[in-house]
Structure 1
């Protein structure tokens, strides 16, 4: 099992993402392109990076100083909990409100109000759960 947000883990997420019509396909319909980073609260930089062009992940791996549109952070124990039980729409809103999931970069409020983006975003947490991690 790969270490959460490692190069190997991020590339497994890339494969899951690109194989998901509910995520890649729906985001392709709206020409969604973005650079997404993930990591842990308190770290100076994110751990992993995920580059999406027109819905498809074209690059994933270790964060190397790239400019990001989204930077999601949480404590490792919360990330691990969400791998076991992926966040849904309501639980994600609660996690953000309670500060368990923090967006260092990106407008969570605007994204969550747009179902064309919010639904695939929430479904991406289930993809993370399919990979697991340590």
Structure 2
């Protein structure tokens, strides 16, 4: 299994994302473009980066100084737990409320209230569990 958020892992996520109409196509409908970063709590910078243009991931890999529209952080144990049992709408809200999942960039509250973004976002977490 590739290391979490490594170049290899992020590119596997890119392939899964672009193959999933409930993520890619739904986000294309709203012209979603964003630089999404992820990593670990306590680190100064993210580990992985995921660049989305009009719903499609056009680049993924190791973070190289890109400015993040979204920067999600959690500790290693929580990321691993969510890879086995992906977060749903309620469990994601709880993870954010309890500080297990932190957004260093991005407005989680606004995103989760927007059905055209929330559904694909939740689905993208389930894609993470398919990598390995």
TM-score exceeds 0.5 = yes
Count of matched residue positions in the alignment of Structure 1 and Structure 2? 132
Matches within 5 A, 1:13-92: 13-92=13-92
Which stretch of structure 1 is more off in the superposition, 37-46 or 123-132? Answer: 123-132
Indicate the residue corresponding to 1:97 in structure 2: 97
Indicate the residue corresponding to 1:111 in structure 2: 111
TM-score after normalising by structure 2? 0.99
Q: CA RMSD in A?
A: 0.5
Unaligned runs of 5+ in 2: none
Unaligned runs of 5+ in 1: none
TM-score after normalising by structure 1? 0.98
Shift of residue 29, structure 1, vs aligned partner: 0.5
**Secondary structure class of the residue paired with 1:130:** coil
- Which structure 1 residue ranges, 4+ long, deviate > 2 Å from structure 2? none
Superposed CA deviations along residues 31-59 of structure 1, whole A, max 9, x for unmatched, are: 00000000000000000000000000000
